[in-house]
Structure 1
Amino acid sequence: MSYKTIVVHLDTSQRVHPRLEMALHLAKHFGAHLTGVFAVFSPDPRSLYVMDGTADYYTAHEQLRAERRGAIERLFHAELRRAEIAGEWIAVDDPANLAVPLLGRYADLVIASQDDPHDPESYVGDYFPENLVMSAVRPVLLVPHATRVTSPGDHVMVCWDGSREATRAVHDALPFMRTARLTTIVAVNGGRGEPGARIPGTDIATVIARHGIRVEIRDVDASSGGPIGDTLLSEADALGADLLVMGAYGHSRWQELLMGGATRTILKSMTVPVLMSH
């Protein structure tokens, strides 16, 4: 298995260029078709008429967005030609929380960004990264809004606890591991989801190694310290990993999206790209 179809979410945010650069690099690396899906948050202008002057502001803002959209679309096509990558541009008017997961289902990998509270243009919908991970049914590579990594996958760190979600994430990330210099399995709290395991992480490490992947194991005890998510981020920093792989934990209750503690921490504080599967 490899990634032969990649979807990247594009918008008018400040970090759209690094995200596109990473998507182009990965499409070239894996020989994949790249689809750029442009989706932004567009409020109903009629809702702004209740305040004097807001209609004029909305019109001016839309013109600025149209200019930015044109610039990123021209860049997208120019970079496809330069890198000799097959691809297509899709601009959607539907809410991003609906459109991007739907289009992502027809891909092997979806690339999007972590929320950036300092950039209003990065907002495309409530809990967009969380909804994408939970509903796309495909692995999602989330790019931090502050990171030095431009080409992830040299040292892959797998967050392993023996769960269904972690197992799926491992297999979804195999294309990255096959070309990585090293993959490190970080077994959290003795791999509680591995009944009868001799040494935490050994069984999944054996499965990975059979793919010709160089793999090592580290056992981390997070039961008496701080949040597991913080422990994982500290391990990634100590190892020098440039890609985290983990299962995403969460479910919907009525209209509320409930995410697991480690998942919430990683989504908020990630400093390297994270591949998540649910």
Structure 2
Amino acid sequence: MKTILSLIHDDEGQEARYQAALDVARGVGGHLACLDLTIVPEYVGDYSVPMTAGGLLLAEDTAVEAAHASRMRSRIEREDVPFDWTSTTGFLSQTLEARAGLIDLIVVSTDHTGAFFAHMTHVIGDLFVHTGKPVLAVPPANCGFTAQGRAVVAWDGSQDAEAALCSALPLLRIAKSVTLFHADTGAMTTDVDEAARYLSRHGIKSTVKNEPIGLERVSEALVREVASEGYDFVVMGGFGHTRTIEAIFGGATRTMLLKCDVPMLLVHRR
């Protein structure tokens, strides 16, 4: 996990996204690949929108983004993290996907209010499908990424959970503590204790927490666990397909994107 793609865009999630990307880069000794993106609205090119109106709005966004990019670049030049900078204009999903080839981690925002981008969960789902890269989803109100904090791994024994665990190793090595949380539905394929042994072989001590959930949805148990135990970040598998996002645990990824207050490292095995 050395090359970290950080989206630079003037929106309410920018500061949290920026700080999280910096914190991860510092924690793993990584490099920031800054993507300064003027986002083309989905309705530009829609025949129901006059071309002059769409063009004027895009021109206005371009001017705003140029000023924002200048401020952000000045800030990152004063940081102790190596970086490169690319400025472009395009659709959000497609541009992130095109830039993700030689990237180890993509940092984006969650946005259940729609204030930044009305279908951010769709964007994350598209990134799962088309890139297969780990995605760090950061809530806009978050203060950064506590790399040396307390981590929880949502475990259901699926291939996505396995992929998430493997991808998260650089972060789990420096975490203060690691908990493997298994909401027991009786449907697990790879045993949670095997996941703990895997971490141990990488020099990572973990605690296994089995939670019988009865009639409760697993997503609800996971949200409650994260909130009550004060974890600093979550690692979990995610399942996506074009223009939608589904999840491990029957909807847990979607629920976490809506309700979780800490950063989430999400991985889908293509």
TM-score by length of 1: 0.83
The verdict on how the C-alpha distance between 1:134 and 1:54 changes in structure 2, with shifts beyond 3 A counting, is: closer
Per-residue CA shift, 1:125-166, capped at 9, x if unaligned? 782222223322111111012234542441110000110100
User: What one-letter code is carried by the residue in structure 2 that aligns with 1:63?
Assistant: A
User: What residue number does 1:215 align with?
Assistant: 206
The verdict on how the C-alpha distance between 1:224 and 1:149 changes in structure 2, with shifts beyond 3 A counting, is: farther
The verdict on how the C-alpha distance between 1:194 and 1:60 changes in structure 2, with shifts beyond 3 A counting, is: closer
Of 98, 105, 115, which aligns to 2:94?
Answer: 98
- Paired with 1:247 and 1:100, the residues of 2 have a C-alpha distance of 20
Gap regions ≥5 residues in structure 1? none
Of 238, 243, 246, which aligns to 2:228?
Answer: 238
User: What one-letter code is carried by the residue in structure 2 that aligns with 1:117?
Assistant: T
The verdict on how the C-alpha distance between 1:124 and 1:105 changes in structure 2, with shifts beyond 3 A counting, is: farther
1:247-266 paired onto structure 2 within 5 Å: 247-252=237-242, 256-260=243-247, 261-266=251-256
SS of residue in 2 equivalent to 1:93: strand
1:174-185 paired onto structure 2 within 5 Å: 174-185=169-180
Q: How many matched pairs?
A: 263
User: What one-letter code is carried by the residue in structure 2 that aligns with 1:4?
Assistant: K
1:1-278 paired onto structure 2 within 5 Å: 3-43=1-41, 44=44, 50=50, 59-76=59-76, 78-79=77-78, 82-83=79-80, 85-117=81-113, 119-120=115-116, 122=117, 127-189=122-184, 192-194=187-189, 197=191, 201-225=192-216, 227-252=217-242, 256-260=243-247, 261-278=251-268
Per-residue CA shift, 1:56-98, capped at 9, x if unaligned? 565444433332232223323x23xx31x22101122232211
Aligned-residue CA RMSD (Å): 2.7
User: What one-letter code is carried by the residue in structure 1 that aligns with 2:5?
Assistant: V
The verdict on how the C-alpha distance between 1:130 and 1:49 changes in structure 2, with shifts beyond 3 A counting, is: closer
Per-residue CA shift, 1:221-263, capped at 9, x if unaligned? 23411x32221121112222111010002334xxx53513111
Is the CA contact (8 Å cut-off) linking 2:93 and 2:126 kept in structure 1?
yes
TM-score by length of 2: 0.86
The verdict on how the C-alpha distance between 1:99 and 1:178 changes in structure 2, with shifts beyond 3 A counting, is: same
Is the CA contact (8 Å cut-off) linking 1:159 and 1:246 kept in structure 2?
yes
Q: Which moved more, 1:149-158 or 1:5-14?
A: 149-158
Q: Which has the larger radius of gyration?
A: 1
Is the CA contact (8 Å cut-off) linking 1:41 and 1:96 kept in structure 2?
yes
Q: Which moved more, 1:43-52 or 1:262-271?
A: 43-52
* Bigger relative contact order, structure 1 or 2 (CA pairs below 8 A, ≥6 apart): 2
Give the % identical residues: 24
